[in-house]
Structures are given as C-alpha cells and as structure tokens.
Amino acid sequence: MNCASFQKRIRIFAAKSVIRLTRVINKKPNIMKQILLLLAFFFVSVACNAQTENDFFTSPEFKADILEYNKTTKGSNKKRCQMLMKLNHMNDDGEIQYQYVFYAKDTLDKARLMETVRRWAKTNYKNYEKSTISETDSTAEYTGYFMNVGQVMGAFKAVIIHGISYVTIEAKADRIRVTAKVRHYTLAQGSVAGAKSALTLPRDVYPYTDSANQSTYAQAYINCHFNLITTVGAILVYLNKNYPDFPAKEKKNDDW
C-alpha cells in the first residue's frame, strides 16, 4: 500500500468516527460526553493532518491552528489559560471565537451545500428546530449550549457554568466561512446562603479579569476552546465526507 492510499484510508476512518461520535454525544451523561469529545477531537486532528489535494474542502489556517492548540493541552489550568490567551481567539465583542475559511476544490452548488449543512446541524443539535436561528440559500446560523464546561461541587457551595455557543456558516462561489463562538457564560451558584445566576461575557471574567470563581471560569475557558475547535473540525470532516461534487457556475466574490 502506498503512502497516498494509506492516508486516504486513515482520513476516511477518522471522518466516519467523528460523525458516529457526534451522533451519540448529546445522548450521553456529562462525563461520557467529555470522553467522546476527546475522541472526536483526536479523530478531527487525524483527519485534518491527513488532508490532501483530494479533499474537496481544505483550510490551511485551521490545520495550523490545530497544531498550535495541541501545545496548550498540558499543564495546570492557570498555565493552559495563559497559553490559550496567546492564541488570540477573543473577538472585539469579548467572545471566544474560532473563524476559518474552507476553500473548495471547485465551484459550489449552494443548494446541495446548504442541504449538507442542514444535515450536519440535525446530527449535531439535539433539538434542531430550536437551535436554528436562520437558514438561507447561502447562510445558516445555529445556537446551543456547551453544558457543564465549568463545575465545582463542595459541601456548602456548588458552581456550574454552561457556554452559549453559536455556529455561522456562509457560502460563496468557491469557499465557505465557518464561525464558531461562545458569546456568554451562564453561571448557576448555590450555597447555604441561597442561589443566584449570572450571564457574563468571557472577556469580563477570569482569565481576563480578577473575577470570583476563578477555578470554575478557568475550566469553562479551557473547555469552550476545546469544544469550539472540535466543532469547526467536525464540520470540515462532515462536509468533506458528505458534500456531493455537483459544480454550479457563479461569479466569484473576493471580500474574504
């Protein structure tokens, strides 16, 4: 077996694994979700590193970011937060954002592309209808939750953080842009003194400010980065496996 054939087999195996894992993640308890997400990220990394000219969609920027992200996966939570901050995935609105352009091998058939995007969304979101913000002939936007990204349970106090996530997919003649971000954290806190909740921007809490609940927000920051880069990778893998190649003619637009 030659190298190209081996890489192709590895890529196909990884793509199938990501899709199968995505289908079951939302049905499992939180601990199992974390294990499945780790497996999904592993297979995303394998698939992206095995990209060749035979893939319909490629993203050199995403492939490079996977390598940089992998450098942040060891060390204390404080150290990991510091390394993740250096990756500069905080946008001007104070949200954690991963955005990439996927370059197509040929002109896109937008109708077939957007149908493939819808199929991905139905696989990814437990409640597709409620998660759908908008779908047009060239754009789609969805929202959901990254559950329990931060959690500290004690005898007299419990703190749980979820991340509110958004995915936007925009199509042009020969490429698509994928944006995945966490706009807010939702914090629920209970103690002997009572319960309270808060909605915060990632920029307004630890590690960007000296806020309360630092250990919990550190977990949330780390896990949201992990969930976002895994989501983008899963979209790339899914589109490469499922988008049928039926080119349509359309004038190119070079804004991005």
How confident is the model over 30-58, as pLDDT tens digits?
444 455 455 555 555 555 555 556 789 99
pTM as predicted:
0.80
| 83 within a domain of the structure (yes/no) | yes
| 251 within a domain of the structure (yes/no) | no
What is the mean pLDDT of the segment spanning 118-137? 95
Q: What's the pLDDT score for residue 215?
A: 93
pLDDT tops 50 at residue 125: yes
pLDDT tops 50 at residue 90: yes
Q: What's the pLDDT score for residue 51?
A: 57
Alpha helices, DSSP H, located in 50-127: 60-70, 77-85, 110-124
Is residue 23 helix, strand or coil? helix
First to last CA, the chain: 39
pLDDT tops 60 at residue 13: no
What is the mean pLDDT of the segment spanning 72-76? 92
Pairing of strands 132-135, 96-104: unpaired
Which helix (H) or strand (E) element contains residue 242? Answer: helix 214-242
| 233 within a domain of the structure (yes/no) | yes
Q: What's the pLDDT score for residue 250?
A: 54
Q: Crossing angle of helices 110-124/3-25, nearest 10°?
A: 50
pLDDT tops 60 at residue 253: yes
Q: What's the pLDDT score for residue 32?
A: 47
Alpha carbon distance 107, 37 (integer Å): 33
Which is higher by pLDDT, 110 or 1? 110
| 249 within a domain of the structure (yes/no) | no
Q: Give the whole-number percent of the chain exceeding pLDDT 70.
A: 72
Burial of 251 (0-12, 13-18, 19+ CB in 10 A): exposed
| 252 within a domain of the structure (yes/no) | no
| 59 within a domain of the structure (yes/no) | yes
Which residues span the domain enclosing 149? 3-242
Confidence of residue 86 (pLDDT cuts 50, 70, 90): very high
pLDDT tops 70 at residue 218: yes
Dihedral pair phi/psi, residue 104, rounded to 5°: -90, 150
- Omega before 207 within 30 of 0, i.e. cis: yes
Q: Classify residue 182 by its DSSP letter.
A: E
Mean pLDDT: which of 9-23, 105-119, 241-255 is highest?
Answer: 105-119
Instruction: Answer positive or negative: Cα dihedral of 144, 39, 66, 104.
Output: negative
Confidence of residue 197 (pLDDT cuts 50, 70, 90): confident
| 202 within a domain of the structure (yes/no) | yes
pLDDT tens sequence across 142-189: 999 999 999 988 777 789 999 999 999 999 999 999 999 999 999 998
Q: Crossing angle of helices 60-70/30-49, nearest 10°?
A: 130
Q: What's the pLDDT score for residue 200?
A: 95
The rounded radius of gyration (Å) of the Cα atoms in the chain is 19
| 253 within a domain of the structure (yes/no) | no
pLDDT tops 50 at residue 83: yes
The number of distinct structural domains making up the chain is: 1
Is residue 138 helix, strand or coil? coil
How many C-beta neighbours within 10 Å does residue 164 have? 17
The CATH code of the domain that includes 182 is 3.30.530.80
Which is higher by pLDDT, 140 or 28? 140
pLDDT tens sequence across 132-149: 999 999 999 999 999 999
* Contact assessment for residue 90 and residue 202, using Cβ atoms and an 8 Å cutoff: yes
